[in-house]
């Protein structure tokens, strides 16, 4: 399946691009992270501390063990600092 993967703030800076289309069979967010980390050091670095990361599936905040079934858009970012 094809998934749009978006990166924001320092995650975007470490990976070096704001978004990409990823071809994957990952079942969960965690599986996708493992695949990405294995790709290149910049991904490995960006995902090295999951406590400082948040994930949204189709624009809804969720947990790392969430299923990717039917998901079109995954976004990774640091804790939000709005307001």
Partner 1 sequence: MQISVQSEDFDLAQVLKGFGKAPNTGATVSFTGLVRDDMGTLEHMEIEHYPGMCEAAITKIAEEAATRWSLTDCLVIHRYGQLRPGDQIMMVATAARHRVEAFEAAEYLMDYLKSRAPFWKKEVTRDGADWVAAKDADEEALNRW
Cβ atoms < 10 Å from Cβ of 37 = 15
Min CB(27)–partner 1 separation in Å: 23
Give the binding site for partner 1 (CB under 8 A): 6, 8-10, 12, 56, 59-61, 75, 77-83
Comparing CB distances to partner 1, the nearer of 25 and 83 is 83
Of 11 and 33, CB closest to partner 1: 11
Cβ of residue 41: shortest distance to partner 1, in angstroms? 21
CA torsion, ordered 26, 30, 36, 42, to nearest 10 deg: 170
Q: Least distance to partner 1 from the beta carbon of 28, Å?
A: 20
């Amino acid at each position: 399946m094809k998934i749009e993967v978006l990166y924001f703030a320092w995650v975007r800076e470490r990976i070096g691009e704001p978004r990409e289309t990823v071809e994957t069979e990952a079942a969960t967010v965690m599986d996708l992270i493992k695949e990405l980390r294995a790709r290149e050091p910049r991904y490995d670095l960006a995902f090295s501390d999951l406590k400082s990361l948040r994930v949204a599936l189709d624009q809804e905040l969720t947990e790392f063990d969430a299923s990717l079934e039917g998901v079109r858009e995954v976004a990774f970012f640091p804790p939000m600092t709005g307001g």
